[in-house]
């Protein structure tokens, strides 16, 4: 379910209108499914992760998210240091550029979501949330490329302001963190409700393998 600002809602658990939310009973009901999958805490995210079999496509997505989150933490620290006009500006710009490059290399992650997972969710009647996520990928990609390409152009020239780069980095950190939270806590749990057959997941994983990993 999309909101006016392009986000999709985390419905409270009560959205299921049941005393206790049973995932089977929510099948096909998009709002309720978001509620069931949308327990927005790190603890429930960990519980969901632990419930996934080793090698499951969704588990791999979440492992990759953990790696991306570490890069975002590092990127945020560098951006905050650069804000203060430090003497080691060029070294920080180089680090930022390298982190931008690492994030660009995460492209197969987004590609697998867009080309393998999202279409199946849409085919099965869950079109809104994947569409919001795919739309966010566009802005995330744009910002990643700025960070991979621009910092090196500012190295060796203290006259060039780094503020636009710092701003882009901090927007990327915030946008991508929120994006990951929504996928881990809402979209992926919903996916497990919508796609129930192990055989279906095996077929999806084969297609994911063809795209490759970050």
Task: Identify the residue among 117, 154, 183, 195 touching Fe ion (CB under 5 A).
Answer: 183
* Candidate segments 13-21, 98-106, 109-117, 149-157, binder of Fe ion by CB under 5 A: 109-117
Kindly state whether residue 45 participates in binding Fe ion, applying the rule CB under 5 A. Answer: no
Q: How far is the CB of 105 from Fe ion (least distance, A)?
A: 14
Measured from the CB atom, the residue of 21 and 133 that comes closer to Fe ion is 133
Region binding Fe ion by CB under 5 A among candidate stretches 44-52, 84-92, 177-185, 188-196: 177-185
Please, which residue, 147 or 165, has the CB nearer to Fe ion?
A: 147
Q: Write the binding mask 5 to 34 for Fe ion: x where contact by CB under 5 A, - elsewhere.
A: ------------------------------
What residues contact 131, with CB distance under 8 A and at least 6 apart? 2, 118, 122
18-36 as b/e, with b when 16 or more CB fall inside 10 Å? eeebebeebeebbebbbbb
Q: How far is the CB of 8 from Fe ion (least distance, A)?
A: 13
Give the residue, chosen from 15, 113, 150, 184, that forms a contact with Fe ion under the rule CB under 5 A.
Answer: 113
* Residue 44 or 152 having the CB closest to Fe ion: 44
Nearest Cα to Cα of residue 11 among 19, 2, 120, 20? 2
If the CB atoms of residues 95 and 113 are measured against Fe ion, the closer one turns out to be: 113
Write the binding mask 124 to 153 for Fe ion: x where contact by CB under 5 A, - elsewhere: ---------x--------------------
Assigned token pair, 134 = 């795919």
Number of residues that bind Fe ion (CB under 5 A): 3
Give me the least distance between CB of 118 and Fe ion, in Å please: 9
| Contacts with Fe ion, residue ranges (CB under 5 A) | 113, 133, 183
């Amino acid at each position: 379910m999309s909101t006016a600002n392009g986000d999709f809602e985390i419905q409270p658990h009560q959205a299921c209108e049941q005393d206790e939310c049973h995932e089977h009973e929510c099948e096909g009901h998009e709002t309720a499914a978001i509620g069931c999958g949308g327990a927005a805490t790190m603890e429930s995210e960990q519980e969901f992760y632990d419930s996934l079999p080793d090698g499951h496509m969704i588990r791999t997505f979440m492992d990759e998210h953990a790696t991306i989150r570490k890069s975002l933490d590092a990127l945020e620290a560098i951006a905050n240091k650069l804000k203060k006009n430090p003497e080691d500006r060029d070294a920080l710009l180089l680090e930022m550029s390298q982190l931008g490059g690492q994030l660009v290399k995460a492209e197969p992650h987004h590609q697998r979501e867009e080309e393998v997972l999202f279409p199946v969710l849409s085919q099965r009647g869950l079109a809104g949330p994947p569409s919001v996520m795919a739309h966010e990928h566009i802005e995330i990609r744009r910002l990643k490329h700025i960070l991979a390409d621009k910092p090196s152009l500012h190295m060796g020239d203290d006259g060039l302001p780094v503020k636009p780069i710092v701003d882009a980095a901090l927007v990327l950190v915030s946008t991508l963190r929120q994006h990951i939270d929504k996928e881990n806590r809402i979209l992926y749990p919903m996916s497990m409700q919508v796609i129930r057959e192990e055989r279906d997941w095996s077929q999806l994983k084969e297609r994911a393998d063809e795209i490759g990993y970050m």
